[in-house]
Amino acid sequence: MRLVLLGAPGSGKGTQAARLKEHLQVPHISTGDLLRAEVAAGSPLGLQAKEVMARGDLVSDEILLGMLKDRFSRDDTRNGFILDGYPRNLAQAAALDDLLASLGQKFDAAVQLTVDNEQIVERLAGRAKAEGRADDNPESVRKRLQVYDQQTAPVVEFYRQHGQLTVVDGVGPLDAVFTRIIEAIAPEKAVG
Ligand code: ADP
């Protein structure tokens, strides 16, 4: 199963991706996690990305594509993946199609987790307290939501127009959201 997870910051992509990974036995590729690992390692790429991420802007398409190509060159992605945090703009959506085409692959579904803005802000405030992520301060959250509306929402529309979009309600208990996703994309793998 090859999945692309879409949704605003705080929509639960990361949480659900971790569960999907176990359930579907495919790797979870989170561009946010890959970037945070570079920042933590203090690599040249990490040094470049650090400030951009902290203010809630998008890291350059070039850096992301390089990182993604590198990740997709590993064997474990051959039989599937859950891509979380990419694509975030239309250029990245085109780059993803090209990358997958070069590997002889196509994704099976783009799943959008929908959560209303008010809840998003509440969830991110909660996460800021729990995890202390550098980009969960109010200013950066505002910026990330704005970037989502301006740059990532068009990706959702693009996939909708191409009949590749599956919309899943992201509100409710984690288990309920997870069940909705599985029922939408792989009903044969639903449990219970
Ligand atoms: P969230 O979606 O909750 O904001 P992520 O962990 O997915 O968090 O991403 C954190 C930050 O990493 C983003 O705000 C952005 O700066 C950077 N980032 C992640 N994925 C991408 C991407 N595909 N393109 C550009 N920047 C990205």
- Looking at the predicted structure, is the pLDDT value of residue 127 above 90? no
What ligand 1 atom has the least distance to the C-alpha of 87? 23
- Looking at the predicted structure, is the pLDDT value of residue 190 above 80? no
Q: Bridge partners of 166?
A: 111
CATH number of the structural domain 2-30+81-187: 3.40.50.300
The whole-number pLDDT of residue 58 equals: 98
DSSP 35-46: HHHHHHHT-HHH
**Can 36 be counted among the known catalytic residues?**
no
Report CA 192 to chain centroid distance, whole Å.
27
Q: Are 52 and 58 in contact (CB under 8 A)?
A: yes
**Can 142 be counted among the known catalytic residues?**
no
- Looking at the predicted structure, is the pLDDT value of residue 192 above 80? no
- Looking at the predicted structure, is the pLDDT value of residue 191 above 70? no
pLDDT, tens digit, for every residue of 136-175?
Answer: 888 898 999 999 999 999 999 999 999 999 999 999 999 9
Q: Residue type at 67? A: M
Q: Is the CB of 56 under 6 A from ligand 1?
A: yes
pLDDT, tens digit, for every residue of 74-84?
Answer: 999 999 999 99
Indicate the domain borders of the chain.
2-30+81-187
- Per-residue buried b or exposed e for 63-94, using 16+ beta carbons within 10 Å of the residue's own CB: bbbebbeebbeeeebeebbbbbbbbbbeebbe
Overall average pLDDT of the 5-9 stretch = 96
The whole-number pLDDT of residue 132 equals: 80
- Of 21, 36, 50, 144, which one is the catalytic site residue? 144
Nearest protein CA to atom 3 of ligand 1, as residue: 9
Structure tokens, 118: 């008010």
Contacts of the segment 122-125: beta carbons below 8 A, 24+ positions apart: 123/10, 123/12, 124/9, 124/10
Say if pTM beats, i.e. exceeds, 0.85. yes
What ligand 1 atom has the least distance to the C-alpha of 53? 16
- Looking at the predicted structure, is the pLDDT value of residue 189 above 80? no
How many A from CA of 31 to the centre of ligand 1?
6
**Can 144 be counted among the known catalytic residues?**
yes
CA distances from 166 to 86, 114, 120, 191 (A): 16, 11, 20, 20
